[in-house]
């Protein structure tokens, strides 16, 4: 588990991370979302002891990172796939990491096979493509077989097959009971991968909830009702409006916000309304995310600023 309590980081007058408090639990994939400049990378760096908090605390398995005797056995991380000596081969890069933490050299070949780099293990990392560099970074994170894993944009540079592989890897690691913390800007992929979301903006916590709750809270999540009985639909609309729900009429259907599918179904049943369809039309994670972070975007294109004005 990773535990953050009041975590804050200031650079002079600028606050990069502002009083973050949340837990990253084992057994699930936790997605870490936020616009550019939100403080995600700074937060991850503080978890790994690369940046010192101005105030607050962050613990990995109940201890500060600096207190971990063999950190690669406690938490594996990929923050920057380019953080590799370009003259070293992939195998030698991992061997150096292994020796620094008392890890058997046999483990190096195991993780190279896991990430699909066995055939290029003797090549210098400086000649790797972005996707191959990502795979090498993931191998380094897995090297110590740690119970906690943290990845910053792990699918950058990967082809569709590689993206699917990373998704399956994250899921399998969580199913083993590990703590998995993943930052990404790919909302469609995060929707397929994450169980829980932590969303920040301008360094502050915006959401800390299961992904289903984040999506359900979107104003674009609605209930669709279809019926061949116009008068019955009109009556249902009146009942829903009286309860404060938003209702939009479209031919033989209603689009309802602010009410659950169960509530709409019970009202329709009470009216004796014959239905041809009753379902929840969920927003996408991207839509829910854009709503959540609308007021926290630091760098917006001109057209978007005009729309928000």
> What is the pLDDT at residue 298?
61
CB 266 within 8 A of CB 274: no
Is 21 in the same domain as 160?
yes
Separation of alpha carbons 210 and 172, rounded Å:
18
Query: In this predicted model, what pLDDT tens digit does every residue of 238-287 receive, in sequence order?
Result: 999 999 999 999 889 999 988 889 999 999 999 999 999 999 888 889 99
Boundaries of domain holding 230:
222-281
Is 99 in the same domain as 24?
yes
Question: How many domains, in total, are found in the chain?
Answer: 2
pLDDT-flagged residues of the chain (< 50)? 303-309
Is 205 in the same domain as 226?
no
Query: In this predicted model, what pLDDT tens digit does every residue of 41-60 receive, in sequence order?
Result: 999 999 999 999 999 999 99
Is 272 in the same domain as 144?
no
Is 122 in the same domain as 188?
yes
Q: Give the CATH number for residue 262.
A: 3.30.70.790
Q: Give the CATH number for residue 30.
A: 3.40.50.300
- Is 274 contained in some domain? yes
Separation of alpha carbons 157 and 114, rounded Å:
18
Show Cβ contacts of residue 259 under 8 Å, excluding neighbours closer than 6 positions. 223, 240, 243, 245
- Is 286 contained in some domain? no
Query: In this predicted model, what pLDDT tens digit does every residue of 143-161 receive, in sequence order?
Result: 999 999 999 999 888 889 9
Is 238 in the same domain as 117?
no
Is 272 in the same domain as 191?
no
Is 205 in the same domain as 241?
no
- Measure Cα distances from 198 to 95, 97, 270, 287 in Å: 34, 30, 40, 16
Q: Which of these three, 209, 237, 262, is where a domain ends?
A: 209
Is 238 in the same domain as 180?
no
- Is 290 contained in some domain? no
- Is 308 contained in some domain? no
**41 DSSP assignment:** H
Is 239 in the same domain as 93?
no
Is 110 in the same domain as 37?
yes
Is 243 in the same domain as 102?
no
């Amino acid at each position: 588990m990773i535990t953050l309590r009041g975590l804050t980081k200031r650079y002079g007058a600028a606050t990069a991370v502002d009083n973050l408090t949340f837990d990253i639990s084992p057994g699930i994939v936790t997605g870490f979302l936020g616009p550019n400049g939100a403080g995600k990378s700074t937060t991850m760096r503080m978890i790994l002891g690369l940046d010192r908090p101005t105030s607050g605390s962050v613990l990995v398995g109940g201890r500060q990172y600096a207190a971990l005797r063999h950190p690669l056995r406690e938490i594996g991380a990929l923050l920057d796939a380019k953080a590799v000596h370009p003259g070293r081969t992939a195998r030698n890069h991992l061997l150096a990491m292994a020796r620094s933490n008392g890890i058997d050299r046999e483990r190096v070949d195991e993780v190279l096979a896991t990430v699909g780099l066995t055939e290029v293990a003797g090549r210098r990392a400086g000649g790797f493509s972005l996707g191959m560099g990502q795979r090498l970074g993931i191998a380094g994170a897995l090297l110590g077989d740690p119970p906690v894993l943290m990845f910053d944009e792990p699918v950058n540079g990967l082809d569709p097959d590689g993206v699917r592989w990373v998704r399956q890897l994250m899921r399998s690691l969580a199913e083993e009971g590990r703590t998995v913390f993943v930052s990404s800007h790919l909302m469609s992929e995060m929707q397929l991968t994450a169980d829980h979301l932590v969303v920040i903006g301008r360094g502050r916590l915006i959401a800390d909830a299961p992904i289903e709750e984040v999506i359900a809270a979107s104003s674009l999540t609605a209930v669709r009702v279809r019926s061949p009985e116009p008068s019955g639909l009109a009556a249902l609309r009146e009942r829903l409006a009286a309860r404060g729900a938003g209702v939009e009429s479209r031919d033989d259907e209603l689009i309802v916000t602010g009410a659950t599918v169960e509530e709409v179904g019970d009202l329709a049943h009470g009216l004796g309304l014959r239905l041809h369809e009753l379902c929840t039309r969920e927003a996408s994670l991207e839509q829910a995310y854009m709503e959540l972070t609308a007021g926290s975007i630091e760098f917006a294109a001109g057209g978007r600023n005009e729309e928000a004005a």
